Amino acid sequence: MESFLTPVFWAALGQIVLIDILLGGDNAVVIALASRKLPPLQRRKAIFWGTIGAVALRVVLIFFALSLLKLPFLKIIGAVLLLWIGVKLMQPDDEPEGGHGSVQAADKLWAAVKTVIVADFVMSLDNVIAIAGAAQNAGADHSLILVIFGLVLSVPIIVWGSQMVIGLMTRYPVIITLGAMLLGWIAGGLVVTDPAAESWVHAQSWGQRAGMLAGAAGAMLVWGIGQWIRSRHRRLASTD
């Protein structure tokens, strides 16, 4: 019991709490974006299952992330997925409500859950390393306990955070665009840290600023493509 009162243990615990808050913020935005178009009951289900899927992925990635991060092009593929998800989430819901409303609601529910799980998998590739690293710093006796604590703590953060973000999106629709651009920012950072590109990036004169530059480029790419598709939909709708 005394070993749990050491400064090293509490320092690792504090680090994991901070990491969880940061990770939960990303996940809350994705869940809120993916489930915002659902009715309240379906939305609560999407938040629940999306959160369960996100936490389950963290458990798997904790054991395999170090190996996965060494695979070339994996992060680049993930970045492309995040860019696509960001653009998709910017688009309005123009589907008409008809006689198949219950079927459409079910389809949309699981589509939202799948979107959350795919996005969380990509975003968690780097982040779970931070949790595992912080836990290992406390010693082998405590690492498993700290990892489990970190995963359990992430559940209320994600659930509460996503519900809060949905409320803010209702009042301030611009948050939808900002959330989609956040995915673009994360995607840009993934590209420049992929093993296939990292050595080349660091050899460039702008290598030290690569993360910020790539993040900004990814965010602007999502915004630009998303706005173009939106305007195209408006033009097509006006001609019908």
pLDDT of residue 106: 53
**Percent of the chain residues topping a pLDDT of 70:** 70
Residue 206 has, within 13 A of its CA and on its CB side, a CA count of 6
Is the pLDDT at 101 greater than 90? The verdict is no
- Around Cβ 86, how many Cβ atoms within 10 Å? 29
pLDDT of residue 141: 53
Place of tokens 């659930």: 159
Cα 203 to chain centroid distance, Å, stands at 29
Degrees to nearest 5, angle at CA 185 with 51 and 230: 85
The mean-pLDDT minimum among 29-33, 85-89, 126-130, 174-178 falls in: 126-130
Once rounded to an integer, what is the mean pLDDT over residues 120-128? Answer: 69
Is the pLDDT at 65 greater than 80? The verdict is no
**Percent of the chain residues topping a pLDDT of 90:** 7
Once rounded to an integer, what is the mean pLDDT over residues 123-138? Answer: 62
b/e burial code for range 14-29 (CB count within 10 A of at least 16 → b) = ebbeebbeebbbbbbb
Q: Spell out the alpha helix ranges (H) of the chain.
A: 7-35, 40-68, 74-90, 101-136, 140-171, 174-192, 195-202, 210-239
The answer to pTM > 0.85 is no
pLDDT of residue 8: 67
The mean-pLDDT minimum among 11-20, 55-64, 188-197 falls in: 11-20
Closest by CA position to 32, among listed 233, 173, 218:
173
Once rounded to an integer, what is the mean pLDDT over residues 60-77? Answer: 74
Give the pLDDT band (50/70/90) at residue 36.
confident
pLDDT of residue 98: 41
Is the pLDDT at 19 greater than 80? The verdict is no
pLDDT tens, residue by residue, 179-214: 889 888 988 888 888 888 888 888 888 878 888 899
- According to DSSP, residue 96 is labeled P
Amino acid in the structure at residue 80: V
